[in-house]
Homo-oligomer: A and B are copies of this chain.
Amino acid sequence: MKKDIKKVVLAYSGGLDTSIILKWLQDEYKCEVITFTADIGQGEELEPARRKALSLGVKEENVFIQDLKDEFVKNYVFPMFRANAIYEGEYLLGTSIARPLIAKTLVEIANKTSADAISHGATGKGNDQVRFELGALALNPNLAIIAPWREWDLNSREKLLAYAQKHGIDIAKKPGKSPYSMDANLLHISYEGLVLEDPAAKPEADMWRWVKDPKEAPNESEIIELEFSKGDLCAINGEKMSPAQLLAKLNDLGVKHGIGRLDIVENRYVGMKSRGCYETPGGTILLKAHRAIESITLDREAAHLKDEIMPKYASLIYNGYWFSPERLMLQALIDESQKYVNGKVKLELYKGNVMVIGRESANDSLFSEAYCTFEEDSVYDQKDAAGFIRLNALRFIIAGKNGRKF
């Protein structure tokens, strides 16, 4: 029993799957479809999506195309990197972090156009459906959500193609189109499916689309300098740029030097394990550099507290809880820690390696040669250490004298 929907905003890529969904929404729900196509740096032209939408009967005023690249990097990627977020020890959350922005824009367009529903092309087995829908429900719980993959019976490639042909949707594969299930944005590109469904199997060399094979990267290393302001990247090699430009530039550097490929098995929020391959060239560099600038500007206990809450923060983003009180609370904690994270980091890039070779902060370094030098100094009284150790050991001393064994 279908809900009664009058207008739906569809997250529309212009590709085959979302074109089928567009048609299916029109047919099944008999509703007006509004398409939303975002440029978040996935590296595809958007005009073909507009033409396709129009050709499928979407009204001109119902085609929304937006460049979200700077918003994406400034309000999503950068805040996340302040936390040094990594999911399950490896994954830089490239897909996860883009979803709430899509959800937010879908809701904004729905509110503006008085639509009563949103729709997306994520399947019922993945994380993205959760991220889209939790985001949308947090921002406007009155919107209905249509997830065709969970509703329809087009549950195989064959049935999909048959449906497309029946409805006159072009099924010709784009030349060079990858057979993998992919996602891309300014932070990363990902691959799932096919041979990757066997975690013991190595992916084909030509699966990787962005980052050079380290073996084919230049034989000369390259030294770069990243500058940070309050924990955010603000300049590369002395050049200030917009957030999106900075990340694009870092991507170019990573791609060139074979940096940021990753092949993992991860745990999905919906319960199963899943193999994914990722390329996060700029993000991999950024994470290393951010940790390095923190290493001289962040207080020890601030750093440790960040590390302790990071896995939870990363899980929240992975699971789709960007718009949630708990993410905002953790973000407040993280942001509070970043006010002194200012300075420059020098890195050497070479065939897959990102090597920190220097860090400095004009005003905010807590590194004090006077205290750590192996030479004589006048600021630190080594005798203090005796009391420090003795009192830290006092609970062991008392326990031991009482016969307790460790």
Contact = CB atoms under 8 A, between A and B. Distances in A.
Interface string A133-145: 1100111111000
A200 interface: yes
Contacts of A392: 130, 134, 271, 388
B332 A125 contact: no
B388 A270 contact: yes
Interface in A357-384: 357-360, 363-369, 371-376, 380-384
A273 interface: yes
A301 B395 contact: yes
Contacts of A359: 199-200, 265
Interface of A: 84, 88-90, 123-125, 129-130, 133-134, 137-142, 147, 149-150, 155-157, 181, 192-193, 197-202, 214-215, 219, 221, 261, 263-268, 270-275, 291-292, 295-296, 299-312, 315, 321, 323-326, 328-330, 332-337, 340, 346, 350-353, 355-360, 363-369, 371-376, 380-404, 406
Contacts of A201: 358
Given A272-B372, A273-B372, A337-B329, A385 B382 contact: no
Contact of A138 (B138, B369, B406): B406
25 contacts: A88-B304, A90-B291, A124-B383, A125-B371, A138-B399, A141-B398, A156-B376, A197-B374, A200-B346, A200-B358, A202-B346, A264-B292, A264-B356, A271-B393, A271-B395, A273-B372, A304-B326, A305-B329, A308-B308, A325-B337, A328-B336, A366-B395, A380-B394, A381-B390, A384-B390
A151 to B, nearest CB: 8
Contacts of A394: 270-272, 371, 380
A150 B385 contact: yes
Contacts of A399: 138, 141, 299, 366
Nearest to A202: B357
B89 A307 contact: yes
A384 B308 CA distance: 30
A111 to B, nearest CB: 13
Contact of A265 (B123, B124, B296): B296
A399 B302 CA distance: 13
A149 to B, nearest CB: 6
A197 B385 contact: no
A305 B382 CA distance: 31
